[in-house]
Structure 1
Amino acid sequence: MEIDIAEALRKKGLKVTPQRIAVIKTMIKGGHFSGEQIYSELKKTEPSISLSTVYNALETLKDAGIIRSFEAGGKTWYEMRMEPHVNVYCEDIGDIVDVDLDLSTLEKNLMEKGIEPRNLSVIVYAECSKMRKG
């Protein structure tokens, strides 16, 4: 997924900063990240970056709708995947697995009740050690 990060930030009305670009470059590879994981990764190439700077960048990017966050296993996780999907938190192995399910019925039912979801995030806690591969 090749995107112009600076242009994406500008389109959302955000100032282009090296920290925001670095966070997005780390996350663009895909997956789920805690703030500490992103900080640890960025510290390798940006030794002067602070944990609070990483969290500030994450919150700004989340508020702008560039990334999303969810709570699972006592942590806040961040991801770039914005379309509705199910995040399965594997309690036994500590992984998070994306599962593509049609969530349109859930979204429709919510809207019929006058609830307009801006960030449809479904979290399932499960045991995954016996998960089928493929």
Structure 2
Amino acid sequence: MTDWQTRLRESGHRLTPQRELVLAAVESLGHATPDEVYAEVRTHSDAINLSTVYRTLELLDELGLIRHAHLTDRAPTYHSAAGHEHSHLVCRGCGTTISVGRAAMEGALGALAAEHGFEPDYGHLSVFGRCADCAAAAT
């Protein structure tokens, strides 16, 4: 049994094909909205609807198997919790998203967080601004 299956069972939830499909879709897509996850899942099965995808994403997020971030003003974007924890720099001009490792974000925010006795959730953090190309085009 894999780690995600163990975590699901230990939390009192059943292993279902739909949950496996949603997790696999998030892992294969990288960063994806619920609609993108739904479209990917539908390429493998017609036996799942959008509300099931939303509920499954919420459950997998609660269990720490996936993470969500707000990379737009629309639906959250989900990505696998496996691998490195990261934050996001999001360009408001072109929409480019840059993943930044936790160590770099801790270096940038560590003193400010310590000053205020605050523990940031780096895996949920998104910073909006302009990428170098969009900033150069604006001048």
Query: Fold-level match, TM-score > 0.5?
Result: yes
- Give the structure with the larger helix fraction: 2
Whole-angstrom CA distance in 2 between matches of 1:62 and 1:53: 14
Whole-angstrom CA distance in 1 between matches of 2:50 and 2:4: 21
State the partner residue of 1:110: 113
- Matched to 2:94, the amino acid is I
- Gaps (5+ residues) in structure 1? none
- Gaps (5+ residues) in structure 2? 135-139
Q: CA RMSD in A?
A: 2.8
Whole-angstrom CA distance in 1 between matches of 2:97 and 2:27: 17
Helix, strand or coil at the partner of 1:29: helix
Question: Does 2:93 align with 1:92?
Answer: yes
- Larger C-alpha radius of gyration, 1 or 2? 2
Alignment of 1:1-134 (within 5 A): 5-29=4-28, 31-75=30-74, 76-81=76-81, 83-100=84-101, 101-105=103-107, 106=109, 109-110=112-113, 113-117=116-120, 119-120=121-122, 121-128=124-131, 130=133
The aligned length equals 128
- Give the structure with the larger strand fraction: 1
Offset of residue 107 of structure 1: 5.1
Q: 1:12 to 1:113 in 2, by over 3 A?
A: farther
Whole-angstrom CA distance in 1 between matches of 2:110 and 2:54: 30
Normalization by structure 2: what TM-score?
A: 0.72
- Matched to 1:92, the amino acid is G
